[in-house]
Amino acid sequence: MKDILNLVLSTLSFLTIFPVKKTYKNFGYKMFLFFPVVGFMLGVVCYYLYFVLLKFFNKEISVLFVLFFYILISDYLHLDGFVDTIDALFGSIKKNHIEILKDPHIGVVGCIYLFIILLAKYFLFYESNKISYILTPMFSKTGLVLCGFFGKKLTDGVGEKFLHRNFFIITFCSLCCFVLFFLVLRNLYYSVAFVVICFLCTSILSSFFNKKFGGINGDVFGFINEILEILFLIIFVGVKL
């Protein structure tokens, strides 16, 4: 029981800026077990924050503040990886992908795409049903679990510790995601559909980077997280739930 609690706290500490004591540093992919749950917790906080902000501000400002809070509470973890991966995808042909991923500087192309993705998130959150605040991080964090399963090792680093071939973890997390989706949506069809979509999108993205870069690292995890959130919001707005 103590080990499970330590694992939950470590996962919470890894994905957020919450001042949780880090008990263990080498849980690695085992933390994936609670990624959907932590994503759900983040979403619930954002959901209720939105309605609190509505008491003081209009909808436009409330959505903006919630988006800023969501980025802040995640410690910019995935956005940093998104920018680095964009630079590697569209960077100079004089450097290979791994060199660009390791480069601490941000390129112009990365900045442009960062602006685009933040703008897209703002408008999509603005147009969507506000339960999307709960479901979006849960969808993307489940995708990261699957990404860890499909991905190949690229370099030595933190991200590589999350690569695994554990069927129990992906089965447990997929089931957990389905249950949480169903509790929120109260719709069996959409709950199953979103888990399947998550599986398909993640497998496609992972396969792309396995071929393009030769594998997946922490930055690519961040990129996939951001893309999954945008894809989910587009679908969620499109079906008008």
Each residue's pLDDT tens digit, 55-75: 999 999 999 999 999 999 987
Can you say whether residue 24 is alpha, beta or left, with left for phi > 0 and alpha for psi between -120 and 50 degrees?
beta
* Per-residue pLDDT reduced to its tens digit, 107-141: 788 889 999 999 999 999 999 999 999 999 999 99
pLDDT per position as a tens digit, 43-52 = 999 999 999 9
Dist CA 88 CA 209 (whole Å): 11
- The strand ranges marked E within 67-200 are none
Residues 109-114: contacts with CB under 8 Å, at least 24 apart: 110/82, 110/83, 110/84, 110/86, 111/83, 113/82, 113/83, 113/86, 114/79, 114/82, 114/83, 114/86
- The segment with the largest mean pLDDT, out of 23-37, 70-84, 200-214, is 200-214
Note the pLDDT of residue 80: 87
pLDDT at 42: 94
Q: How confident is the model at residue 34 (pLDDT cuts 50, 70, 90)?
A: very high
Over residues 22-37, the mean pLDDT reads: 76
Percent of the chain with pLDDT over 70: 90
Rounded Cα–Cα distance for residues 120 and 75 (Å):
20
Give exposure, 142-169, as e/b (b: 16+ Cβ within 10 Å). bbbbbbbbbbeebbeeebbbbbbeeeeb
Q: Is the pLDDT of residue 173 over 90?
A: yes
CB atoms within 10 A of CB 92: 10
The vertex-146 CA angle with 207 and 32, nearest 5°, equals 145
| The overall pTM is greater than 0.85 | yes
Question: What is the domain partition of the chain in residue ranges?
Answer: 2-239
